[in-house]
Amino acid sequence: MKLNVKLFAAARQLAGADQLAVDLPEGSTVSDLRYRLAMEHPDLAPLLPHVLFAIGSEYVGDSKPLADAMELACIPPVSGG
Amino acid sequence: MKLNVKLFAAARQLAGADQLAVDLPEGSTVSDLRYRLAMEHPDLAPLLPHVLFAIGSEYVGDSKPLADAMELACIPPVSGG
Amino acid sequence: MIELVTGPIDTQNILAQVTSPEAGAVVLFLGTTRQFTSGRETASLDYECYHDMALAKLAELEAEARTKWPIVHCAIVHRTGHVGLGEASVAVAVSTAHRSAAFEAGQWLIDTLKHVVPIWKKENWSDGTSQWVHPGLEVPKEIRSEP
Amino acid sequence: MIELVTGPIDTQNILAQVTSPEAGAVVLFLGTTRQFTSGRETASLDYECYHDMALAKLAELEAEARTKWPIVHCAIVHRTGHVGLGEASVAVAVSTAHRSAAFEAGQWLIDTLKHVVPIWKKENWSDGTSQWVHPGLEVPKEIRSEP
Extents of the domains making up chain A: 2-75
Task: Answer whether residue C147 shows pLDDT above 60.
Answer: no
Nearest of C24, C134, C113 to residue C72 by alpha carbon? C24
Closest Cα in chain C, distance from residue B59 (Å)? 9
Residues of C with CB under 8 A from a CB of D: 11-12, 15, 19-36, 85-86, 88, 95, 97, 99-100, 102-103, 106-107, 110
The C-alpha atoms of residue D56 and residue D66 are separated, in whole angstroms, by 15
Task: Answer whether residue D89 shows pLDDT above 80.
Answer: yes
For residue A49, what is the enclosing H or E element? none
Ranges in chain A, pLDDT < 70: none
Q: Are the Cβ atoms of C134 and B54 closer than 8 angstroms?
A: no
The per-residue pLDDT for D38 is 87
Which residues on C lie below 8 Å from D103 (Cβ)? Answer: 29, 103, 106-107
The per-residue pLDDT for B13 is 95
* pLDDT (average), residues D50-78: 98
The C-alpha atoms of residue C2 and residue B20 are separated, in whole angstroms, by 30
Amino acid at D131: Q
pLDDT-above-90 percentage for chain D: 90
Under 8 Å between Cβ of A65 and D104? no
Asked if D56 reaches chain A (Cβ–Cβ under 8 Å), the answer is yes
* pLDDT (average), residues D39-58: 97
Please tell me which chains touch A, using 3 or more CB pairs under 8 Å as the contact test.
Answer: D
Under 8 Å between Cβ of D110 and D38? no
Nearest of C32, C24, C121, C108 to residue D15 by alpha carbon? C32
Nearest of C54, C57, C69 to residue C106 by alpha carbon? C69
Say how many Å lie between the first and final Cα of chain B, rounded: 37
The per-residue pLDDT for B56 is 94
Under 8 Å between Cβ of A66 and A3? yes
pLDDT grade for C79, boundaries at 50, 70 and 90: very high
Which residues on B lie below 8 Å from C146 (Cβ)? Answer: 13
Nearest of D91, D90, D85, D92 to residue D45 by alpha carbon? D85
Task: Answer whether residue D13 shows pLDDT above 80.
Answer: yes
* pLDDT (average), residues B48-75: 97
* pLDDT (average), residues C28-38: 95
Q: How far is CA D6 from the centre of its chain?
A: 13
CB atoms within 10 A of CB A64: 16
For residue B31, what is the enclosing H or E element? helix B30-40
Under 8 Å between Cβ of D90 and D113? yes
Amino acid at B57: S
* pLDDT (average), residues D99-122: 98
Amino acid at B52: L
The model carries a pTM of 0.95
Enter the DSSP assignment of C115.
Answer: H
The per-residue pLDDT for C121 is 97
Cα atoms in the Cβ-side hemisphere of radius 13 Å centred on D127: 9
* pLDDT (average), residues B35-64: 96
Residues 6+ apart with CB under 8 A from D104: D69
Tell me the pLDDT of chain B averaged across its residues.
Answer: 97
- Alpha-helical (H) ranges within chain C are 11-18, 51-68, 99-116
Asked if D63 reaches chain A (Cβ–Cβ under 8 Å), the answer is no
Task: Answer whether residue D22 shows pLDDT above 70.
Answer: yes
pLDDT tens for C84-141 read 999 999 999 999 999 999 999 999 999 999 999 999 999 999 999 999 999 988 765 5
Task: Answer whether residue D147 shows pLDDT above 50.
Answer: no
Distances (CA, A) of A25 to A31, A33, A66: 13, 10, 10
Task: Answer whether residue C11 shows pLDDT above 50.
Answer: yes
Which residues on D lie below 8 Å from A46 (Cβ)? Answer: 140
For domain A2-75, which architecture applies?
Roll (3.10)
pLDDT-above-70 percentage for chain D: 94
The per-residue pLDDT for C36 is 94
- Alpha-helical (H) ranges within chain A are 9-15, 30-40
pLDDT grade for B52, boundaries at 50, 70 and 90: very high
> Residue C79 class from Cβ within 10 Å (0-12 exposed, 13-18 middle, 19+ buried)?
buried
The per-residue pLDDT for D85 is 96
Which residues on D lie below 8 Å from A80 (Cβ)? Answer: 47, 49, 54, 78, 89-90, 113-114, 117-121
The per-residue pLDDT for C140 is 52
The C-alpha atoms of residue C16 and residue C19 are separated, in whole angstroms, by 5
CA C121-C126-C129 angle, to 5 degrees, is 65
Nearest of C73, C70, C69, C93 to residue C20 by alpha carbon? C73
